[in-house]
Amino acid sequence: MMAEVTPLPVPKPPLVAGNSVLAIVPKDFESAYRLANVVFTAGMAPRSLDSVEKCTVAIMHGLELGLTPMAALQSIAIINGQPALFGDGLMALVRGSGLLEDMTETCEHDANGPTIAVCQVKRRDQPTWIGHSFTRAEAQRAGLWKKQGPWTQYPQRMMQMRARSWALRDAFADVLRGIRSAEEMLDVTAAGSSSTAPPPEPRRADFTDAEADPAADNKVEAKP
């Protein structure tokens, strides 16, 4: 009788460190929908993305902007039916474009808190700086100052995000493709539910050549 032969264990592949981590990027609508469904079912979608369809739209919109699916889900919010990017997401897109040469952000204070936030940016393909500011007086006129929530808890951060979004949108319109900051959209939506809602942000088409653009008050003197 032949002796039973014990098979040798199959060697396991060694653990390898240092490999590059690659994102899963869908190639068609069906793949984007399946990925969105997994994220939504797992309960890992942000609160504003409260359906598989909204998650899918966020992924697709992010792909058009150059964001990977998971980055898009964390950066894009659907506010009043429109996609918007949180301030850090705007910054990530601009930095990723390779067009940002330099950037400065400052905020001045007095005894009552921040008084003015300023953001200035310099594109590599442009000779001048572009800057914007957002002041406490503007926040008060818009009904934002001391409003319950982030404006009470982090007023400096909120003023910084407003100045940053305006500067980045002016300097990198081709990169951001018209998308607005989520912080600004949330403020506009919240204000719109009140009878004392401030007027919407002026657009260039609202003015004739003979009229002055009030948005110019927010622009700061560019660096030489």
- pLDDT of 12: 76
Could you list the residue range(s) of the whole structural domain that residue 161 is in? 90-196+213-218
Mean pLDDT of the chain: 83
The answer to whether position 43 is within a domain reads yes
Q: Give yes or no: residues 47 and 96 share one domain.
A: no
Same structural domain, 99 and 170: yes
Judgement on whether residues 117 and 161 belong to the same structural domain of the protein = yes
Co-location of 105 and 187 in the same domain: yes
Mean pLDDT computed over 18-32:
83
Alpha carbon of residue 85 to chain centroid: 3
Lowest mean pLDDT among 98-112, 160-174, 193-207: 193-207
- Both 34 and 111 in a single domain? no
| Residues 134, 182 within the same domain | yes
Q: How confident is the model at residue 203 (pLDDT cuts 50, 70, 90)?
A: low
Same domain, 95 and 190: yes
If asked whether residues 102 and 74 sit together in one domain, one would say no
The number of domains in the chain is 2
Distance of alpha carbon 76 from alpha carbon 61, whole angstroms: 9
The angle, 0 to 180 degrees and rounded to 10, between the axes of the packed helices 87-97 and 182-192 is 150
Residues 6 or more apart whose Cβ sits within 8 Å of residue 27: none
> What are the pLDDT digits (tens) for 114-157?
999 999 999 999 999 999 999 999 999 999 998 888 899 999 99
In a domain, 95, yes or no: yes
If asked whether residues 49 and 139 sit together in one domain, one would say: no
Is 188 found in the same domain as 111?
yes
Total Cβ atoms within 10 A of residue 34: 14
